[in-house]
Structure 1
Amino acid sequence: MSKILGIDLGTTNSAMAIVEGGEPKVIENKEGARTTPSIVAISKNSERLVGQVAKRQAVTNHENTIFSVKRLIGRRWEDEEVQRDVKTLPYKIVKAGEGVKVKMNDKEFTPQEISAMILQKLKADAEEKLGEKITETVITVPAYFDDSQRQATKDAGKIAGFEVKRIINEPTAAALAYGLNKKKDEK
């Protein structure tokens, strides 16, 4: 049976874990870190950068560096938070139908596509670390996410090449992890 990758797709950083022998185990990314910055950029020479490499060049390429995209996922253009972000974030956010897109290098991307790029990096790093193909995932979302935001997160997982088994509230994931540890302590 192949492993299911648990992913915390965070606003600032993302992390991933698997359950091995009944124990949750955080997986380090290719760079050896337990968290990956949730940042995507297109470099000056049109190369896609994700994670730490995207973060490193953000100061010199802020208009083509997308961060905090989780704030936009599944939201409508007229949402108060979106309008606030349009005014404060250094990259371009544009109206796309009822929703939004972000601009990088004169190309427009949905928040789901940007999130999928982060998920693809996590998937590739996990596959390299574990030495096997990963096709299934469980992704955490904040408890306050509405149905549209949950569906958009699920769509991002599909775009990234995952079969999304479940979208779980972050507090629920914490409780499940606590339960796993409690079971271990009772043995």
Structure 2
Amino acid sequence: MQPQNANEQRELLTLATQTKIALSQAVETEVKFANWTGTISRSQFNELIQPLVKRSLMTCRRALKDAGVEGEEIREVVMVGGSTRVPFVREQVGEFFGKTPLTSIDPDKVVALGAAIQADILVGNKPDADMLLLDVVPLSLGIETMGGLVEKIIPRNTTIPVARAQEFTTAKDGQTAMSVHVLQGERELVEDCRSLGRFTLRGIPPMVAGAATIRVTYQVDADGLLSVTAMEKSTKVQASIQIKPSYGLTDEEVTQMIKSSMANAKEDMEARQLAEQRVEADRVIDTVISALQEDGAEVLSIEEFKAIEAEIQKLIDLKQGSDRVAIAQGIKELDHATQAFAAKRMNLSIQKALAGKAVDEII
């Protein structure tokens, strides 16, 4: 039976609803559409709706996982919506939770009853009530870090209101500003997440890389409004932004983003590990080059200097590839090649510190 126009489609939808209701009471029912007449049994109906029921149970399984609760910990199961009157639905739900679902409450009215109870609690009429519905963050909120990675600060399903803070540092010597990129999503790379906004923290005291401490605070209020603040701890200089994370995002898009993170979990983790190795390689290369520029000519022979430069170039070449194990090995080899240089730099620093001082001044 294929509808030919909008009127026939509406008629079929009405017929499907009537058939569902009839088969909730009887094992077989007669169906009439246009010039066609036939019968459909409850077993045939169950077979048709099985994919939908299976999908609903997958949602239940995901909800239990997100809440960190086992099925046997659920005390009662309340059915919501007219379709939960279907015997097959009740049977499958009962098997999934290992207990018979409650059917004494009208499934068409249970949401309204629950909302009324929640409203009564929220206005303070039942301060000691042990039931409270909590809003949660639907998708993780994070920040972009070096290498195009996402550091999650508030994980998905965290109850709101909530405030979380994390400390970060500078990546370059003399860095006086930091760009804060606010992201939403479950993936590991920035390109796979939703950008919520950006702002820049200026006025960071110029120091060597890694010396400054920037505290980034994410706060979501009861209305779902996200406030992000970045503060340099020594000067207290700060910058902030306010965002509505759910703006322009449908329930279907949230679900798709979660499914995408699950489907790509392995590939995402491999991509993250590769990016982390590249970031570490950049850090080591910058550190060694800076040291060579500062003291290399003074403590190294030409051959020693060139040998370290060769290891640096080798690591630069490895970093362009996608073999994270090879990059990690290249970092180790550069570290090994610079050990003698590091010792000579230490001796030079000690000599400079002691130059011109008497023995009794040192002791």
Could you state the TM-score of these two structures normalised by the residue count of structure 1?
A: 0.38
Pair member with larger Rg = 2
Q: Which has the higher contact order (CA 8 A, sep 6+)?
A: 1
